[in-house]
Chain A
Amino acid sequence: MDKQETHTTGISQSDRIPADLLFRIDEAVTHYPISKRSASLPLLHLWQNHFGFIDDSAVNWISKRLDLEPINILELVTFYPWFRQQPAGKVCIRVCRTLSCALAGGFEVRDAFCTAAGINPNAEMHGHTPPVSADGKFSVEFVECLASCGSGPVALINDDLVEDITPEGAAGILSQYH
């Protein structure tokens, strides 16, 4: 994943698209010779990988790029849990919530990550917008099954799958992401 930009400029995302992102967008569209609309998800991924989230200007820009209406893109952003309209933490911690990980102690691991990251464990953390620590460094959220049920509890920390996590080990894991 690209290094995510910080959300401080106040300038619309579509006014600061770098050349390499444009290049990758053009390349992704060629994967769908039958229908450009099919490139909606790939473009949203490229966008979020670069900017960290998807703002209104992105919805407009992507829809124009693919000859669609803005609603065709917005309805994807609001449907798919992966996409965000607000920035997450620079270190994004997605803890598996589902049964096998829960049996192995996933809820305790989530709480331990919250403590280590300085996030209220009672915050709503099962939607599109996870709670972020005051310094913007960490976000912690629950996600559904990450398909690594035999090595639970697992979490996705940025792009890394971390397996067999214990509550005691949570703080040590986060310290590697400082």
Chain B
Amino acid sequence: MKSLLLPPHPKERRIVFKNAWTQGYTPDIECYLKDGGYEELRKALAMKPAEIIDEVKKSNLRGRGGAAFPCGVKWGFIRHDDGKPHYITCNGDESEPGTFKDRYILNNDPHQLIEGMAIAAFALNVHLAYIYIRCEFTKSAGIVTKAIEEAKAKGFLGKNILGTGFDLEIYVHQGAGAYICGEETSLIESIEGKRPYPRIKPPYFPAVLGLYMSPTIVNNVETLCHVKQIFKLGSEEYSKMGTPGDGGTRVMCVSGDVMRPGPYEIPVGGVTLGELINDVCGGMKPGRKLKAIIPGGSSSKVMRAGEVYKMKVKGPDGEMIEKDVPLLDITMDAASLAAAGTMIGSAGVIVMDDSRSMLWALNNLNTFYAHESCGQCTPCREGVLWIDKMTTRMVNGEGIAQDPITLKNVADNIAGRTVCAFGEAASWPVQSFLEKFPEEFAVGAK
């Protein structure tokens, strides 16, 4: 990734990515220890579990996987002394189109993740944890497994960690090419050795009935790295970097038609979409104009260049007032993008210029969802195939007048009618592309 070889952009603040790109930094434990590694685990082991969870709550860390759920609140669902075994499963099944951050952490700085996980495990009374890594990250499983062995040899994992009496085993579990395994209950089924059909919530909230039907916390790779950073910086300092209720930095992955695509670690709310595209990423390609932005991975609703959003913002006297916000002035945080009718999701920003056909782009995504539906729920299994067939036909110039209406109808009948959020993830692109770019889906449009 060329962009990572550049010095950090002034808008960036590399914390989780601090070492992943430092010249001469290696994934072995000696290098990590030289940089102060595992000091935060020592700090955490001297605290009470409830105090650790409280620090994470105060940091305002939100999950970096896609749902932006407050991490400390999620941890708070686990009752420390309920007598049941508890588990952590780290979600490294990064597969959301447009998202590309986990590989660099896993391959270049695996101990950061292991330390974050060990802190989480101590807080949640966990003694067995799994890191689920998609097998397409061919080198990552070996690198992380070696890092686990090193940490064990130094007493940071295994039995009686640092003499505290706390035990933790971590194992790597490799996926096998299925996007659905990024869904947390699907990931759990996959670790149980089953077809990864998502479980229905309620009752199968992982924090209640997770891995082996025991309370389980599923956290994204980046999220667990942030846990370590919270203890390094202190929750107050950490939360200050973000917006109220959405603390810290996050890795924003920009791809598509910009000059300098790449993953950029930026304080939450620290850039607007315009600054991210035009400043951090060097703008559009020469002679090209912005046409569309998918702001949070392929499942998030598309935004059209030139749009102005009516958003509720805090006015000068603290009252909430409605304000017109142009697309490029929207800040990259969960609340702002939600107010604009889309989501920050995995912060995978896909940028498209005026040379692109929106029908072609949507068809590409439809093929993805048609390939990746697990097939458990009828509306999704059947619907995504029909959606893909229809847009494929339209791309081939064989569309009929009814197609946009039928497409919307099928999408409307998938969303909300499935066990997991894949139904929405597959429907939102269809619904939003049709709504934002109707002229490109009219009959005869190519």
Contact: A31 with B253, CB < 8 Å? no
B contact residues around A98 at 8 Å (CB): 97, 298, 364-365, 368
- Sorting the interface of chain B by its residue count into under 10, 10 to 19, 20 to 34 or 35 or more gives 35 or more
Chain B positions 318-370 with a Cβ under 8 Å from a chain A Cβ: 348, 350, 352, 356, 361, 364-365, 367-368
A contact residues around B103 at 8 Å (CB): 147-148
Q: Which listed residue (B102, B135, B263) contacts A45, Cβ 8 A?
A: B135
Contact: B138 with A161, CB < 8 Å? yes
Q: Which listed residue (B85, B136, B174, B371) contacts A41, Cβ 8 A?
A: B174
Q: How far is the CB of A88 from chain B (nearest CB, A)?
A: 13
Contact: A35 with B134, CB < 8 Å? no
Q: How far is the CB of A55 from chain B (nearest CB, A)?
A: 17
Q: In the complex the two chains form, what is the Cα distance from A61 to B134 in whole Å?
A: 25
Question: Which of A7-15, A73-81, A109-117, A131-139 contacts the other chain?
Answer: A73-81
Contact: A147 with B137, CB < 8 Å? yes
Contact: A144 with B371, CB < 8 Å? yes
Q: How far is the CB of B342 from chain A (nearest CB, A)?
A: 16
Q: How far is the CB of B146 from chain A (nearest CB, A)?
A: 15
Question: Which of B111-119, B189-197, B265-273, B417-425 contacts the other chain?
Answer: B189-197
Cβ of B212 under 8 Å from chain A: yes
Q: Which listed residue (A38, A79, A82, A161) contacts B195, Cβ 8 A?
A: A79
Q: How far is the CB of A76 from chain B (nearest CB, A)?
A: 7
Q: Mark A109-153, 1 if CB is under 8 A from B, else 0.
A: 000000000000000001000000000000000011111111110
Cβ of B3 under 8 Å from chain A: yes
Q: Which listed residue (A72, A144, A161, A163) contacts B368, Cβ 8 A?
A: A144
Cβ of B224 under 8 Å from chain A: no
Q: Which listed residue (B85, B176, B253, B371) contacts A82, Cβ 8 A?
A: B176
Q: How far is the CB of A4 from chain B (nearest CB, A)?
A: 14
Q: In the complex the two chains form, what is the Cα distance from A1 to B139 in whole Å?
A: 9
- Known contacts A79-B195, A143-B136, A99 near B348 by CB under 8 Å: no
B contact residues around A76 at 8 Å (CB): 176, 193-195
Cβ of B179 under 8 Å from chain A: yes
Q: How far is the CB of A54 from chain B (nearest CB, A)?
A: 11
Q: Which listed residue (A1, A80, A99, A102) contacts B177, Cβ 8 A?
A: A80
Contact: B2 with A83, CB < 8 Å? no
Q: How far is the CB of B277 from chain A (nearest CB, A)?
A: 13
Q: How far is the CB of B188 from chain A (nearest CB, A)?
A: 10
A contact residues around B99 at 8 Å (CB): 145, 147, 149
Cβ of B109 under 8 Å from chain A: no
Q: How far is the CB of B424 from chain A (nearest CB, A)?
A: 18
- Known contacts A34-B212, A37-B193, A45-B135, A151 near B2 by CB under 8 Å: yes
Instruction: Give the nearest-CB partner of A128 in chain B.
Output: B177
Cβ of A33 under 8 Å from chain B: yes
Contact: B364 with A99, CB < 8 Å? yes
Cβ of B246 under 8 Å from chain A: no
Cβ of A25 under 8 Å from chain B: no
Instruction: Give the nearest-CB partner of A100 in chain B.
Output: B255
Contact: A145 with B257, CB < 8 Å? no
Contact: A41 with B134, CB < 8 Å? no
Q: How far is the CB of A61 from chain B (nearest CB, A)?
A: 16
Cβ of A156 under 8 Å from chain B: yes
B contact residues around A152 at 8 Å (CB): 255
- Known contacts A38-B192, A41-B193, A97-B367, A144 near B257 by CB under 8 Å: no
A contact residues around B263 at 8 Å (CB): 150
For the complex of A and B, the 7 pairs showing the least CB-CB separation, nearest first, are A80-B176, A82-B177, A149-B255, A40-B193, A81-B177, A100-B255, A150-B261
Give me the interface of A with B, judged by CB distance under 8 Å: 1, 31-35, 37-42, 44-45, 66, 72, 75-76, 79-83, 94, 97-100, 102-103, 126, 143-152, 156, 159-161, 163-164
Give me the interface of B with A, judged by CB distance under 8 Å: 1-3, 85, 94-100, 102-103, 128, 134-139, 171, 173-179, 190-196, 212, 253-257, 261-263, 294, 298, 348, 350, 352, 356, 361, 364-365, 367-368, 371-372, 374
